[in-house]
Amino acid sequence: MPGLPTLDAWRDRGRHLTVFGRDIFVVDTAAVEPSCTDLVILHGYPSSSHDFAHVLGRLSARRRVVVHDHLGFGLSAKPTDEAYSITEQAEVALAVWRELGITRAHLLTHDYGASVGTELMARRERLGLPIEFASLTLTNASVHMELANPRLIQWMLRNPRTGPIVARLAKESTFSRNMRATCGDPSAVDDDEIATMWALITHGGGRDVLPVISRYLDERTRFSKRWIGALTRLDLPAHVLWGNEDPVARVAVAEMLVGEIPSVTHTPLPGRGHYAMIEAPEEWADAALAFLDEHEG
Q: Say what the pLDDT of residue 31 is.
A: 86
For residue 118, report the phi and psi dihedrals to the nearest 5 degrees.
-70, -30
Per residue in 35-60, pLDDT (tens digit) is 999 999 999 999 999 999 999 999 99
What is the enclosing helix (H) or strand (E) of 182?
Answer: none
Cis peptide before 262 (omega within 30 of 0): no
Identify any residues that bridge with 94 across adjacent strands, giving them in sequence order.
Answer: none
C-alpha span between 237 and 43 (Å, rounded): 20
Tell me the domain boundaries of the chain.
7-294
Spans in the chain with pLDDT lower than 50: 1-2
Give the relative orientation of helices 86-99 and 112-126 as an angle to the nearest 10 degrees.
80
- 149 with 247: CB under 8 angstroms? yes
Rounded Cα–Cα distance for residues 67 and 48 (Å): 9
Q: Are 179 and 151 in contact (CB under 8 A)?
A: no
Question: Which overall architecture, per CATH, does domain 7-294 show?
Answer: 3-Layer(aba) Sandwich (3.40)
H or E segment to which residue 81 belongs: none
Distance CA 113, CA 268 (A): 19
Tens of pLDDT along 163-174?
999 999 999 999
Task: Measure the CA–CA gap between 180 and 75, rounded to whole angstroms.
Answer: 23
